[in-house]
């Protein structure tokens, strides 16, 4: 089983990727911390 990758784009070319079996939890946590989250459809 493979996890989903979440691409996170930061300021000043600080980009990183988080892999999670539950990406919604990661995105909700970032949103609760005040980070702008853009919810996109999966392909």
pTM of the model: 0.65
| Better-scored residue on pLDDT, 11 or 21 | 21
Q: Which residues contact 21 (CB under 8 A, 6 or more apart)?
A: 1, 3, 4
Res 37 pLDDT > 60: yes
Domain boundaries, the chain: 1-8+20-43
CA distance 21 to 13: 26
pLDDT at 10: 76
Task: Grade residue 29 by pLDDT with cuts at 50, 70 and 90.
Answer: very high
Res 43 pLDDT > 50: no
| Better-scored residue on pLDDT, 41 or 36 | 36
């Amino acid at each position: 089983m493979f996890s989903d990758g979440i691409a996170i784009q930061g300021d000043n070319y600080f980009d990183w990727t988080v892999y999670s079996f539950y990406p919604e939890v990661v995105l909700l946590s970032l949103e609760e911390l005040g980070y702008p989250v853009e919810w996109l459809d999966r392909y």
